[in-house]
């Protein structure tokens, strides 16, 4: 069971990485760009994408380190992910086609923490 979870987590992280590159170069795929252009579509995207990534990373960490304190592990993974999300949001100031937004950051965090709790509760 662990192996498929790690593969899915890695593939999902790569998907998000590809979307970030696409957004930074103003080359998002058509369907994704359509969602992004909807009112608050980018906020919804942050919430869903980072929430899903949080769930997958936390489930993977819990499977990989079963002897660790699960609450501490989920908190650590979630805080690291939150720092990465903040750095990615801040990095948008380096790209003329992007806007760094506290609302996007909050939307990402709104996905991370409930998903982390779900991963913890379903361990």
Q: Are 70 and 63 in contact (CB under 8 A)?
A: no
The answer to whether residues 32 and 90 touch, using CB atoms and an 8 Å cutoff, is: no
In this prediction, residue 1 carries a pLDDT of 60
State residue 26's pLDDT score. 81
Q: Say which DSSP state 27 is in.
A: -
Mean pLDDT of 46-69: 96
Q: Once rounded to an integer, what is the mean pLDDT over residues 27-48?
A: 80
Instruction: Name the one residue in this structure whose structure tokens are 């998002």.
Output: 28
Say how far apart CA 17 and CA 99 lie, in whole Å: 17
pLDDT, tens digit, for every residue of 83-118? 999 999 999 898 887 888 899 999 999 999 999 999
Percentage above 90 pLDDT, the chain: 67
Euclidean distance between CA atoms 73 and 56, whole angstroms: 13
């Amino acid at each position: 069971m662990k192996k498929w979870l790690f593969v899915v987590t890695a593939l999902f992280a790569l998907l998000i990485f590809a979307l970030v590159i696409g957004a930074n170069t103003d080359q998002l795929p058509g369907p994704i760009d359509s969602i992004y252009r909807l009112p608050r579509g980018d906020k919804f995207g942050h919430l869903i994408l980072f929430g899903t990534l949080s769930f997958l990373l936390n489930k993977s960490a819990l499977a990989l380190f079963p002897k660790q304190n699960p609450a501490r592990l989920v908190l650590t993974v979630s805080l690291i992910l939150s720092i990465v999300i903040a750095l990615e949001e801040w990095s948008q100031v380096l790209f003329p086609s992007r806007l760094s937004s506290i609302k996007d950051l909050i939307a990402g965090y709104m996905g991370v923490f409930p998903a982390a709790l779900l991963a913890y509760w379903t361990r």
